[in-house]
Amino acid sequence: MTAHKSAPPGFYSIEIGDSTFTILERYQNLRPIGSGAQGIVCKDNVAIKKLARPFQNVTHAKRAYREFVLMKLVNHKNIIGLLNAFSPQSSLEEFSDVYLVMELMDANLCQVIQMDLDHERLSYLLYQMLCGIKHLHSADIIHRDLKPSNIVVRTDCTLKILDFGLARTAGGSFMMTPYVVTRYYRAPEVILGMGYQENVDIWSVGCIFGEMVRARRSCSLAPTTSTTGHAGPEFLARLNTAVRNYVQNRPKYQPWPFEQLFPNDYFRQTARSTAA
């Protein structure tokens, strides 16, 4: 990391990786935590995220605006909290950077999935995911990008959802883009270009939980049909002609029994490292 002297009053600039961060002087001793959703960490127990090129086009500007507004308005213990927001630029003509200061968590769910979790911890993490999503859906907000890297936890097993750049309001007459949700966690109606609502977030939560239980990632439509079975006539009738032909021409599978996908021995009552 390399410090720079040139910065507006009250700020200082520093190179972290391949990015320059111009930060309020109150945030010192910065250290990178990778390219994930929380950006960089400072010693004051907060996470600072620099929005990547938020104004390069209309799409990026909308995503930056959504994330800022939703983090400002949503108040729930399982949704990441916005503590501060600032820009080093002092005029509208120069305005180009936005920094969000958030609660600092210990890890994201990608790291937690690799751990040896018992039934109690798995259940508590799932419960918190569903509580956070229920709160969003009660406000007619669809997250649309739920995945392990957008879910963060503390060592005490508390969980929070973050990254609202792709979130949208449910309902309305507009056509929502089909290119949302990282592919491993996309619901069939998203993959197949159908209309969708809040239930796409529930599908994503199911995929995440299945990955936590099995420590194995599903991938796109083919493994979905090979696991859940071929689509029935009512579902096929909802598809446009081209998509319907594609689905009908795929290999036919019978659904796997739940007991075979998730046998009881996947749900241990206690972690091996702890007492019962």
Q: Is 145 a catalytic residue?
A: yes
Interior/surface letters 177-208, b for 16+ CB within 10 angstroms, e for the rest = eeebbeebbbbbbbebeeebebebbbbbbebb
DSSP letter for each residue of 115-175:
S---HHHHHHHHHHHHHHHHHHHHTTEE-----GGGEEE-TTS-EEE---TT-EES-SSS-
Catalytic-labelled residue, pool 145, 156, 163, 265: 145
Which amino acid, residue 233?
A: P
What distance in Å separates the CA atoms of residue 262 and residue 227, rounded to the nearest whole number? 12
- By annotation, the residues acting in catalysis are 145
